[in-house]
């Protein structure tokens, strides 16, 4: 049975007519492309706390770091109810490997949400929706992203990559042991090297020194790893990783194969070829010259190929 990866999503992004005005904000990429591989689990916190559709608008006000969500017409605060909507779903959210949020919403927005000065229309765009903030506080390692940012090929690839790495972590047998963690860390080696070499080495060093793999340590490990992956990898780092991989099995390749791979990696480095080109060639040569260590690397098969995420990198 194939693995079902669940990702939470703001209901309006999958076409549910739950917005304050009875509309939706359906995203084709989420509702069509991602649905083919992920089980999208929609939630609308404002409907969930009983505000109904249509409903009066809500806005954030006060301190940007800890704003209050109020119904504009009545000034009634709904902050606690929105946070509790997340609190009461902890068990369900534990099953999620990521969350896609609707931008700009005082409930779901992840960043740059308007925060108003109390009793005024003056505002700054530096807030985070109440529900989104609570989900982030409850699950700091879980990848979160906004619908609009998913239109950027780099951010889109980065989010999906993190969803698959986080899901792999969630699938590890519990309780976590040294050998399970070391194997997981080894499988993420090239993915992590492409994003953040110092963090790869620090995590490896701590894993080797660690005697007890209690919750404090494993929470620190996954939060550090996911944070390191949250910045997209640069072309320079990808090139280094590709050359590193080439070095791993260059003895098995003949001179022509080595030459072809070198040229394709350089073509990627100069921006003439997308990342999918050297990776396709590496996977082709790996089928000819199998190497278990390389074939287990998440970097070579991070997510389903037909999402075509590495064509735009």
Q: Which stretches of the chain bind ligand SF4, using CB under 6 A?
A: 10-12, 18-19, 44-46, 102, 105, 107-108
String of b and e for 3-36 (b: at least 16 CB within 10 Å)? eebbbbbbbbbbebebbbeeebbebeebeebbee
> Would you say 138 or 276 has its CB closer to ligand SF4?
138
> Would you say 12 or 194 has its CB closer to ligand SF4?
12
CB of 51 to ligand SF4, least distance (A): 9
> Would you say 45 or 98 has its CB closer to ligand SF4?
45
Q: What SS3 class is residue 139?
A: coil
> Would you say 10 or 240 has its CB closer to ligand SF4?
10
CB of 74 to ligand SF4, least distance (A): 18
Q: Is the dihedral of CA 5, 8, 10, 12 positive or negative?
A: positive
> Would you say 37 or 55 has its CB closer to ligand SF4?
55
Q: Is the dihedral of CA 294, 300, 301, 306 positive or negative?
A: negative
CB of 90 to ligand SF4, least distance (A): 19
- Helix (H), strand (E) counts: the chain: 14, 8
CB of 2 to ligand SF4, least distance (A): 28
> Would you say 46 or 157 has its CB closer to ligand SF4?
46
CB of 28 to ligand SF4, least distance (A): 16
Contact criterion met (CB below 8 Å) for 146 and 109: yes
Residue matched to tokens 């739950």: 18
Q: Minimal CA–CA distance to 110: which of 100, 123, 118?
A: 100
* Terminal-to-terminal C-alpha distance of the chain: 32
> Would you say 24 or 206 has its CB closer to ligand SF4?
24
The residue count for the chain: 313
CB of 33 to ligand SF4, least distance (A): 20
> Would you say 39 or 270 has its CB closer to ligand SF4?
39
CB of 275 to ligand SF4, least distance (A): 33
Q: Where are the alpha helices (DSSP H) in 37-142?
A: 45-48, 79-87, 90-94, 130-138
> Would you say 31 or 291 has its CB closer to ligand SF4?
31
CB of 31 to ligand SF4, least distance (A): 13
- How many C-beta neighbours within 10 Å does residue 305 have? 13
CB of 105 to ligand SF4, least distance (A): 4
Measured CA to CA, the distance from residue 144 to residue 100 in angstroms comes to 6
Measured CA to CA, the distance from residue 125 to residue 13 in angstroms comes to 22
- How many C-beta neighbours within 10 Å does residue 94 have? 11
Q: What angle do CA 50, 51, 57 make, to 5 degrees?
A: 160
E strand segments, 128-229: 144-146
């Amino acid at each position: 049975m194939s693995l079902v990866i669940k990702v939470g999503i703001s209901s309006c992004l999958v076409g549910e007519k739950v917005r304050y005005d009875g509309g939706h904000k359906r995203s084709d990429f989420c509702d069509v492309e991602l649905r083919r591989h992920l089980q999208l689990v929609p939630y609308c916190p404002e409907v969930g706390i009983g505000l109904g559709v249509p409903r009066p608008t809500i806005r954030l006000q006060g301190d940007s770091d800890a704003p209050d969500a109020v119904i504009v017409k009545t000034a009634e605060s709904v902050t606690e109810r929105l946070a509790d909507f997340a609190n009461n779903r902890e068990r369900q959210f534990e099953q999620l490997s990521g969350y896609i949020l609707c931008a700009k919403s005082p409930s779901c927005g992840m960043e740059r949400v308007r925060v108003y000065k109390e009793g005024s229309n003056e505002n700054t765009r530096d807030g985070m929706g109440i529900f989104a903030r609570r989900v982030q506080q409850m699950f700091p390692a879980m990848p979160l992203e906004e619908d609009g940012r998913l239109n950027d090929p780099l951010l889109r690839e980065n989010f999906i990559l993190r969803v698959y790495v986080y899901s792999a972590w969630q699938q590890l047998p519990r309780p976590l042991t040294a050998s399970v963690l070391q194997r997981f860390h080894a499988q993420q080696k090239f993915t992590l090297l492409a994003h953040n070499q110092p963090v790869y080495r620090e995590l490896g060093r701590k894993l080797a020194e660690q005697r007890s793999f209690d919750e404090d340590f494993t929470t620190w490990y996954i939060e550090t790893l996911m944070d390191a992956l949250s910045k997209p990898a640069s072309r320079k780092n990808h090139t280094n990783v590709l050359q590193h991989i080439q070095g791993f099995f260059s003895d098995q390749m003949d001179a022509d194969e080595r030459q072809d791979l070198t040229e394709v990696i350089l073509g990627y480095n100069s921006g003439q070829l997308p990342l999918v080109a050297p990776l396709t060639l590496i996977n082709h040569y790996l089928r000819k010259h199998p190497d278990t260590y390389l074939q287990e690397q998440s970097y070579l098969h991070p997510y389903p190929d037909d999402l075509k995420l590495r064509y735009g990198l």
